[in-house]
Chain A
Amino acid sequence: MIAIINGKRRKLDVHPMKRLLDVLREDCGLTGTKEGCGEGECGACTVLVDGVAVDSCLVPAAQADGCAIVTIEGVARARSGRALQDAFVKLGGAQCGICTPGMIVAALPLKAGASLDEIKTALAGNLCRCTGYLSIFRSVQAGLRPSREALRPTRKTRVKGKRANAR
């Protein structure tokens, strides 16, 4: 498969049915993406595929062929990503941290000034057992606040509708 992963073009020799999650973790060494259930329920494995948040444990490599993929290791390439990361540290959005990469990636496509309902919907498929979610909402709200309007949407951060129905 050929994919643009965090802005870099990669050619990977993998079985077409290998889970994208394993391709990223094992073949690309990108272990920031986590596995919490392997069945599309927890969102710990969330990555962006062409701007849409998907559960990478449910996506076969073949389906991501030719796509642009963003993982937690790549979110800082967007200013909004850095702001989200900083807000998660400052406002207690990350406790044990195992859900955090998925949460941040799932929040990345949100527009600046998204409402609480929009945030909840964007994160609906991501489970956290530590925080009770409220500090995560606060973190996302704060992370989205810096004037993102000024930021030209890049290929990786462009919003493409709602969360994919890969779950």
Chain B
Amino acid sequence: MGRAVGANVRRKDGDAKVTGAAKYIDDISFPGMIFGATIRSTIPHGEIAARHVKLPGGFVVADYHDIPGKNYVALIDPDQPCLAEHIVRHVAEPILLVGHADRPRLIGLEQQVSFEYLERAPIYDPEASDTCFKRISIDKGDLDRGFAEADVVFEGEYRTGHQEQLYIETNGVIAVPGDEQMTVYGSLQCPYYVHKALVVLLGLPPGRVRVVQTETGGGFGGKEEYPSMLACHAAILARKAGRPVKMIYDRVEDLLATTKRHPSIIRHRTGVTRGGRITAMDVEVVMDGGAYATLSAVVLSRGVIHASGPYRCDHIRIRGRAMLTHTPPNGAFRGFGAPQTQFGIEAHMDRLADEIGIDPVKLRELNALKPGDTTATGQTLGKDASALPVLREAVRRSGFREKRRKWRGTTRGIGLSLFFHGSGFTGGGEVKLASKASLELTARGARILVASTEIGQGTRTMHAQIVADALGVPFDDIDVHEVDTDFVPDSGPTVASRTCTIVGKLLERCARDMRKRLGRLSPADYFKKHGSFTVTSQYEPPPNLLWDDEGYKGDAYGSYAWGCNVVELEVDPATFEVRPINVTAVAEIGKAIHPMMAEGQIEGGTAQGLGYALIEEVVMRDGRMANAQLTNYIIPTPLDAAPMKVVMLERPYAYGPFGAKGVGEMPIDGPAPAVINALRHCGYDVRSIPATPERLMNAPRQKAEGKRQKAG
């Protein structure tokens, strides 16, 4: 039939969202519900010596003693307590929970609840830390040989700051207690992560815990792990109060306490021939994990795998480490380590081009990964490797070469970045997850049962398109079940650009199986005759996909999406303010199931990337975010929106649904290095982001690029 895939069908969630009918967590109430608040540490590191709690009647108070199961947030390492017992490792660490029926009574409790501490010395510099959460090494070829082949060896250090996800809906949940059971409703990305955390915390059998996602006002990774913490808190209070408890963070608390993008330090030492062929890459990646392990190990993993960029090189060494500091834990944020490391390599590439006197496009063309080449982990790329096509398309569409020439020596600059992004969990992750998806026959068509959440990116619509076409029924005849762990199977988390390419593929298989069973009957006719049935499919890796987790070798991802950004900008020489004036974003994503929504992902992700590059700065003072308000943590506004040309290329991935790869994260990998390279074109040597006016003012100035050309 093929009518829905590739068409801009009407979003399933659209009408509820534009009329105000969609119910987000704060729009929901339960009879007898009270409100909860969290009392947090005010120091970065130390021992809790005394607790002073003087609250009148009417308050429900809970601390770690009220946890019936285990006191940690179950994710990867069991190191992060749900409520601190004796030691606190960061400012805003949760210690005590307070509930009250009257919401305003929970404001300003500092007078009645306070702690005494024995302070310990905090560490803020990840390189000075003696606690390492995770170390990863990637080795390919023989580094010494690679450097021996080089004519020039060139080094550089690049730094990236924190970034806040800044979903416009803050974190929030409601816990509803029952008899030896608990239900949590909330704004979240990964219902089964929350489910697992609650089972461990409450010591209940899995069947007695239920998690329901409510309409979610943005996630970007920020609602990947933190909702587990918040759900645990609400559940503890609800259990103690015997009443439903609603906990919604205000913006300040959300900024102070929840996860952000890992700051990083990236160092490159690169061997290159005079002709521009890269012969050796030595890369060091340091990530600031914050106070607890959370997802740092996997963020680092994706980071190091992308650290050598979309380039071919036979001799590579990458060393990565994620370190403890006494700041709130850093965690998942769209891109998940790759934006940091690809900022490093892409800023380095332009400096390298400059060093050997070669055009930055040419340098990339010479080294870009092509079909049949191998990546840093030794993965041989298939026909859909698209670094060169996206590069050429972006250069052509943006008029890069001409503007590069014309603007030299002016306040305008143009820069580009080339990048890629692996779709799905890294390495053996998908095999371990063993995700499931189900499809149920209905009187009209079919109903999708997955744990993948709609967080704005269009999950429900895109999944329904895939099923409609694979089953051969109209799009409108496909329903999507609410994400409720009592009904939907564990399809894995809604992260890692996996919702379309992995879960979508499972649904495509379900639909094809269902079609077989229906024979020549329509779903309606079959339903009338035989009633409903459900088909389920479970993840199986594509054939020949091999990964060695010990040696960090093999097929890191089933597929990669490819991107190239060109940013044109203008610098105000008096205020050092930078205004992007035009952006070209080319993305090769296999197949755009819903072209308009895919474009929306690219536009939105690129805008977030421009914010990351230029204005979004988390100021940490004594381990505390000093600008924890929307007034001074600034994100792009409508007035900052630069015109953008989005071009999508499609080179189908053989094992993706209708050829689709992942699209959600990649757009944020490219803007920051393209901005920095455009600034370099204007003569500003900036090597860390955000490139705020202050940084720009203090940046070394260089003559227009090209002047330091050496004889090639």
Q: CB distance B603 to A134 under 8 Å?
A: yes
Contact status B630-A42, CB under 8 Å: yes
Chain B residues positioned under 8 Å from A34 (CB to CB)? 24, 26, 168-169, 217
Contacts of A71 in B (CB 8 A): 20
B14 on the interface (CB 8 Å rule)? yes
A124→B637 contact, CB < 8 A = yes
Q: Which of B18, B218, B630 contacts A130 (CB 8 A)?
A: B218
> B26, B604, B644 — which one has the most chain A CB atoms within 10 A of its CB?
B604
Q: Which of A36, A73, A95, A125 contacts B600 (CB 8 A)?
A: A95
Is B639 within 8 A of A124, CB to CB? yes
Contacts of B479-500 to chain A: CB distance below 8 A: none
Knowing A73-B20, A98-B169, A99-B168, say if A133 contacts B641 (CB, 8 Å): yes
Known A92-B600, A98-B218; contact A41-B630, beta-carbon cutoff 8 A:
yes
Q: Are A132 and B603 in contact (CB under 8 A)?
A: yes
Q: Which one, B310-318, B374-382, B453-461, B686-694, is touching chain A?
A: B453-461
**A39-B629 contact, Cβ under 8 Å, with A31-B27, A94-B18, A124-B639:** yes
Q: Is the CB of A130 within 8 A of B639?
A: no
With a cutoff of 8 Å between Cβ atoms, the chain A residues found around residue B23 in the complex are 31
CA distance A81 to B24 in the complex (A): 22
Assembly CA distance A67 to B455 (angstroms)? 36
Closest chain A residue to B219, Cβ basis: A96
Interface check B517, CB cutoff 8 A = no
B341 contacts partner chain A, Cβ-Cβ < 8 Å: no
Residues on B with C-beta less than 8 A from A95 are 218, 456-458, 600, 604
Contacts of A136 in B (CB 8 A): 638
- Smallest Cβ distance from B35 to chain A, in angstroms? 12
By a CB distance below 8 angstroms, the chain B residues around A120 are 638-639, 641
Question: Complex Cα distance A68/B636, Å?
Answer: 32
Contacts of B705 in A (CB 8 A): none
Contact between A132 and B20, CB atoms less than 8 A apart:
no
Complex: how many Å from CA A125 to CA B218?
Answer: 19
* Bound Cα distance from A133 to B218, whole angstroms: 15
Residues of B with C-beta under 8 A to A104: 18
Q: Could you tell me which A residues sit within 8 Å of B by CB distance?
A: 25, 30-39, 41-42, 44, 71-73, 76, 84-86, 88-92, 94-101, 104, 120-121, 123-137
**B interface residue numbers (CB < 8 A to A):** 8, 10-11, 13-24, 26-27, 165-170, 215-220, 250-251, 455-458, 596-597, 599-600, 603-608, 629-631, 635-639, 641, 643-644
Q: Contacts A31-B26, A72-B20 given; 16 further ones with Cβ under 8 A?
A: A31-B20, A31-B23, A31-B27, A34-B169, A72-B19, A89-B18, A95-B604, A96-B168, A96-B169, A98-B217, A101-B18, A124-B637, A127-B168, A127-B635, A133-B641, A136-B638
The 12 listed contacts between A and B (C-beta, < 8 Å) are A31-B26, A32-B20, A33-B20, A36-B169, A72-B20, A89-B17, A94-B18, A96-B169, A96-B219, A129-B167, A132-B608, A135-B599
